[in-house]
């Protein structure tokens, strides 16, 4: 059995509002080709492929149909998971750890441009009890945002600051969809969607794909000079029913983070983690998720957004890439955080590089108000 699992190559497409020029398979292949080139592997060398896509978003059953050829899975081994590619990475890690497969290709893609976000999200609610209430993820997120902001006195200005920082950081990321110089006033003056969430508090519709190669310690050393190790991982789900949850505290994230930290030997995340990439589709989620991750105490996320701690050059830069708010698709967002963490640990993050980063955190979530939370800790030593 393998003792350590390495990521030896990562790639992402440029994120784009509408990639009408390619189908899902071709989009995925753009990222896959890059990781093959980088490692010198061919699709015949891949022992197993773990892919992530979602039937509801794709609008077809068996959304992975377009993928079989481009992941080399014809008469081969393939798993498809839903939710986020960070789950696909988790499954791939288990395959390598078990000794069942040596070289695993992980892929996630999404073309949000092909469907209607609100209709698709509504279908994610319980069909008998909840769908009829007509909510989508934005209206549900608005309920969570209001409750969280009321309970802890988080201000719209603080949430807007997260938007400004993320879009600003995105200017250093050549793959980002909407790098922008914006101000807090721009965010607060943008169109209201579902109070308190305004247009700039959310991410735009996005198409894109991400791929990575995972393998054993022994193989990793042959494939790259700069392997990145998975040193902690966990995920956690809480109940689907919003009324049964304390929406102002993301306890699923607290649990996921605790488990991942204990595997990685982390007891003071703010000091022991050098860079964090977290998935926030709505601005209020940045302070809320940072509380869940233990970067600060409960209700202190607003103050953390205000501080310089999470800026580039701060103690724990959060989302040097710009994160999800400037535009990452559902299902890819969390895996893209893993890819960005790997680039940081390899010193290959270009203008968004956090100098000397040794330990990185990648976070992904899916579902209504962050029902599913996943945390991965990566290190380069």
Site residues for another protein per CB under 8 A: 19-23, 25-26, 29, 33, 42-44, 59-60, 68-70, 72, 74-75, 111, 114-116, 119, 122-123, 127-128, 131-132
Q: How far is the CB of 357 from another protein (least distance, A)?
A: 34
Q: Which is nearer to another protein, 131 or 222 (CB)?
A: 131
Neighbours of 130 (CB within 10 A): 18
Q: How far is the CB of 225 from another protein (least distance, A)?
A: 26
Q: How far is the CB of 138 from another protein (least distance, A)?
A: 17
Q: Which is nearer to another protein, 20 or 192 (CB)?
A: 20
Q: How far is the CB of 49 from another protein (least distance, A)?
A: 11
Please state, in angstroms and rounded to a whole number, the distance separating the CA atoms of residues 68 and 46. Answer: 13
Asked whether the CA dihedral 289, 245, 118, 66 is positive or negative, the reply is: positive
* CB contact at 8 A, 213 and 39: yes
Q: Which is nearer to another protein, 70 or 110 (CB)?
A: 70
* CB contact at 8 A, 276 and 337: no
Q: Which is nearer to another protein, 49 or 278 (CB)?
A: 49
Please state, in angstroms and rounded to a whole number, the distance separating the CA atoms of residues 227 and 214. Answer: 10
Q: How far is the CB of 209 from another protein (least distance, A)?
A: 13
Strand order in the sheet with 359-366: 78-81, 48-52, 103-111, 207-216, 5-12, 228-237, 372-379, 359-366, 275-277
* CB contact at 8 A, 86 and 106: no
Q: Which is nearer to another protein, 21 or 181 (CB)?
A: 21
Give the closest residue to 199 by CA, choosing from 325, 287, 318, 289. Answer: 325
Q: How far is the CB of 38 from another protein (least distance, A)?
A: 16
Q: Which is nearer to another protein, 14 or 69 (CB)?
A: 69
Q: Which is nearer to another protein, 72 or 323 (CB)?
A: 72
Please state, in angstroms and rounded to a whole number, the distance separating the CA atoms of residues 363 and 140. Answer: 21
Q: How far is the CB of 87 from another protein (least distance, A)?
A: 24
Q: How far is the CB of 9 from another protein (least distance, A)?
A: 17
Q: Which is nearer to another protein, 70 or 360 (CB)?
A: 70
Q: How far is the CB of 202 from another protein (least distance, A)?
A: 20
Please state, in angstroms and rounded to a whole number, the distance separating the CA atoms of residues 164 and 253. Answer: 24
Please state, in angstroms and rounded to a whole number, the distance separating the CA atoms of residues 267 and 258. Answer: 9
How far is Cα of residue 296 from the mean position of the Cα atoms in its chain? 20
Q: How far is the CB of 369 from another protein (least distance, A)?
A: 22
Q: Which is nearer to another protein, 57 or 148 (CB)?
A: 57
Q: Which is nearer to another protein, 54 or 250 (CB)?
A: 54
């Amino acid at each position: 059995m393998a003792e350590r699992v390495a990521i030896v190559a990562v790639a992402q497409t440029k994120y784009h509002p509408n990639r009408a020029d390619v189908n899902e398979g071709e989009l995925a292949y753009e990222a896959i080709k890059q990781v093959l080139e980088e490692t010198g592997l061919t699709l015949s060398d891949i022992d197993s492929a773990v892919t992530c896509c979602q039937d509801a978003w794709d609008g077809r059953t068996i959304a992975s149909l377009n993928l079989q050829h481009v992941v080399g899975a014809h008469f081969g081994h393939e798993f498809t998971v839903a939710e986020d590619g960070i789950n696909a990475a988790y499954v791939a890690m288990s395959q390598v750890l078990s000794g069942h497969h040596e070289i695993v290709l992980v892929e996630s893609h999404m073309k949000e441009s092909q469907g209607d976000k609100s209709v698709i999200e509504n279908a994610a609610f319980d069909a008998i009890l909840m769908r009829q209430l007509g909510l989508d993820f934005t209206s549900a997120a608005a309920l969570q945002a209001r409750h969280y902001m009321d309970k802890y006195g988080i201000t719209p200005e603080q949430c807007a600051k997260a938007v400004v920082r993320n879009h600003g950081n995105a200017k250093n990321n050549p793959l980002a969809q909407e790098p922008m110089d914006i101000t807090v006033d721009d965010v607060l003056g943008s169109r209201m969607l579902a109070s308190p969430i305004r247009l700039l508090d959310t991410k735009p519709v996005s198409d894109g794909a991400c791929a990575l190669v995972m393998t054993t310690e022994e193989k990793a050393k042959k494939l790259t000079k700069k392997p990145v190790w998975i040193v902690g991982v966990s995920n956690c789900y809480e109940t689907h029913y919003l009324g049964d949850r304390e929406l102002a505290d993301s306890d699923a994230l607290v649990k996921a983070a605790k488990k991942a930290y204990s595997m990685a030997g982390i007891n003071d995340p703010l000091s022991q983690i050098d860079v964090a990439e977290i998935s926030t589709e709505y601005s209020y989620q940045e302070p809320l998720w940072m509380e869940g991750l233990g970067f600060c105490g409960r209700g202190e996320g607003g103050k953390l957004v205000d501080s310089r701690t999470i800026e580039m050059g701060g103690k724990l830069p959060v989302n040097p890439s710009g994160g999800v708010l400037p535009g990452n698709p559902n299902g890819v967002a969390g895996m893209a955080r893993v890819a960005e963490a790997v680039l940081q640990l390899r010193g290959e993050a270009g203008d968004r590089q956090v100098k000397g980063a040794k330990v990185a955190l990648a976070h992904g979530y899916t579902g209504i108000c962050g029902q599913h939370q996943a945390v991965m800790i990566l290190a380069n030593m």
